[in-house]
Structure 1
Amino acid sequence: MIFLSAGRLWLLVGVAALVVVYVVMQLRRSRFAVRFTNLPLLEKVAPTRPGWRRHLPATLFVLMLALLVMGFAQPAAAVQVPRERATVIIAVDVSPSMGADDVPPDRLAAARDAAHDFVDLLPGEFNVGLVAFAGDAQMVVAPVTDREALRAGIDRLAVGTTVARQGTAIGDAIATCVAAVRTVDAEAAEEPPPARAVVLSDGANTAGIQPSAAADEAAAAEIPVDTISVGTPDGVIELGGALQPAPVNGETLREVADRTGGSYHEAATAGELREVYADIGSSVGYRTEQQDISDRFIGIGLLLGLATASTSLLWFSRLP
């Protein structure tokens, strides 16, 4: 927390001075009572003091003043605010290796489920698009705020469908994400929206343009690419009736994240994949702003003022 008008906090010196004066007056009152040497007579003629209760209204009053001064100094707290026109493109590998069941029920099914959870984390005003890629990349759902259309697109993802060629074209997927951001609305060509891409795959690039070139294009467009490597070294798939190893390989994805200023993640289980998406979702498309919270201090201060008046009237039949 910071104070936008910190100089006004000097008024707290006045509040502290009131506390000092109050303490001095209480001490003087105690010394005056001790000077009266006939203590038995003093007990009879002096009214019974209410003890701690006589100090409570004063304490509440001082706290009220302190809070009002702090509110006057305009306290502000850092909050994350969704960026206007923020756009997120999710790219999912649908190559045959994504059918490996080392991440139950299989890599792609786990990716679909986690993608649904990820979409639920994003503010409703975000534009979200979906890209599927194997040997090439295709836009499945253009960036929209329509979450039902997006969920339907995620459910359509299947191994070996949507795309025309076999392979793993990570570079093409990134280039498709960048192109989607540039056409998200009429202003995007001249004033691109704040955007981020999330690319999920299990292997190295085997087709299309080089991921390094696509990553440089994304970096030039100020589009960080977060990458997720899903799978384990023990993954296998069935091709032509025979089992073939499909070990995860995240080196290309790590390089892409490094080049674009994104983050690289590894997920060997469905639970880890959800955690990765949650981690990305907590930071994507937000900016940090200092938000004025003086109303909180003023509100609490006014409540203390009411408490001061109430206790004083209840116990002493007067306002402080």
Structure 2
Amino acid sequence: MTFLHPAVIAIAVLLTVAATAGYVALQKRRADALRSAGFATLNRSGLRQHLPPALLLAALPVMLVGLARPQAEVAVPRVAGTVLLAFDASNSMSAGDVTPSRLGAAQEAAKAFVQNQPDTVDVGVLVFGDQALLTQTPTDDHAAAIAAIGRVTPGGGTSLGQAILVGLGTITGKPVSLPSPEGPAAGTQDLGYWPSATIVVFSDGEETGGPDVQAAAELAAAAGVRIQTVGVGTARGATVEVDGFQLGTALDETLLTTVAQVTGGSYQQAGDAAALAASTGSIDLRLTTEKEPIELTAPFAAAALLLLTLGGLLGVRWHGRII
């Protein structure tokens, strides 16, 4: 426990000692006065005689300690940390099997997700196609994150592995890459441990190339970073036009499910816009605890008032006076 005004504690001690000494002196003078007048000292129960004033005296230091503004630190659970929203911006995300499009529905759901986050959550935005690009560094300025989400446009292929590596580099603050087959194993790369960081991937799961996705996910798991995946699209699929050609595209859940499971995250499937919006509400961000100071002035004041009330009531009931 700490005090905003610790000097008041010394005053409380001095006043309590003085008040106690004064009470003892008062009782002695009363007894001496009775004896000098020829009266025997009344035989009262020690409890009845001294309890009411003892309660009143006890209220003094309690009240003064309250004036010292005591504070205690308590662990408060809260949602906190870093969230990277990773958007698949490949050509297939322009498919219309989810209204208005896969990417459009993902953007609206992600915006709603950001709006629901407390200021203790820093949100960043990452866009990936053949390569991955961080378009908004993690920030507690959620309006900036929402603006970055709105600027995502589709085009190119899909490299989820590259997205995970860029996301890890953003979280850890150091370049991250998978080692060559001749180099050290992926698990030996020291990225530190980041349990309060989460990567949320919005994708249709159609991978077209790039770094090994599972190896990248294992690297994230070793760093304590959880990946939550949201599948955008339908199994029946749709067609998209790329360079004058009509290409079929459908949701592939296998890769997205594997990535989530490797890192301890979960996969959410969203076959339509409403389901996609609902899926972001079930994204599990980690609860952390932070110590916050709680002022205890009110409890001390309440305790002092209770002692004063009890002391006064007992004094009047037993002796017809407070002291």
Q: CA deviation at 1:78?
A: 9.6
Q: Aligned residue for 2:142?
A: 147
> Which deviations, in whole Å up to 9, do the C-alpha atoms of 1:179-238 show, x marking residues without a partner?
000129xxxx98665211111110232211011010011011100101111110222133
- Are 1:89 and 2:84 matched, yes or no? yes
Question: Aligned pair in 2 of structure 1 residues 139, 213: CA closer, same or farther (>3 Å)?
Answer: same
Match of 1:266 in 2: 269
Whole-Å Cα distance in 1 between the matches of residues 225 and 120 of structure 2?
19
Number of equivalent positions? 236
* Distance change in 2, residues 1:182/1:97 (3 Å): same
Mapping for residues 34-49 of structure 1, pairs under 5 Å: none
Cα deviation digits, residues 145-176 of structure 1 (max 9, x gap): 2222212211110111xxxxx32101111111
1:67-109 deviation line (CA, Å, top 9, x unaligned):
xxxxxxxxxx9963134xx111110101111111111011100
| TM-score normalised according to structure 1 size | 0.60
Distance, in Å, in 2 between the alignment partners of 1:283 and 1:251 is 23
**d(CA) in 1 for partners of 2:291, 2:241:** 56
Gaps of 5+ in 2: 1-73, 175-189, 311-323
Is residue 115 of structure 1 aligned with residue 110 of structure 2? Answer: yes
Structure 1 residues 211, 191: CA separation in 2 closer, same or farther (over 3 Å shift)? Answer: closer
Percent of residue pairs bearing the same amino acid type: 35
| In 1, Cα distance between equivalents of 2:282 and 2:292 | 24
Structure 1 partner of 2:281: 278
Alpha-carbon spacing, 1:291–1:152, altered in 2? closer, same or farther (3 Å): closer
Q: How does 1:1-320 map to 2 (within 5 A)?
A: 80-83=77-80, 86-160=81-155, 166-183=156-173, 193=194, 194-239=196-241, 241-280=244-283, 283-284=285-286, 286-287=287-288
Q: Which runs of 5+ in 1 are unaligned?
A: 1-76, 161-165, 310-320
Whole-Å Cα distance in 2 between the matches of residues 183 and 144 of structure 1? 14
Q: Which residue identity does 2:90 align to in structure 1?
A: S
How much is the aligned-residue C-alpha RMSD, in angstroms? Answer: 4.1
SS at match of 2:201: strand
1:283 Cα deviation after fit:
3.0
Q: What is the alpha-carbon distance in structure 1 between the residues aligned to residue 125 and residue 78 of structure 2?
A: 24
- Kept after mapping to 2: 8 A contact 1:174/1:199: no
**After alignment, is 190-199 or 250-259 more displaced?**
190-199
TM-score (norm. length: structure 2)? 0.60
Distance 1:271 1:79 in 2: 34
Report the CA distance shift for 1:275/1:292 in structure 2 as closer, same or farther (over 3 A): farther
Stretches of 4+ aligned residues off by more than 6 angstroms? 289-293
Query: Secondary structure at 2:240's aligned position in 1?
Result: strand
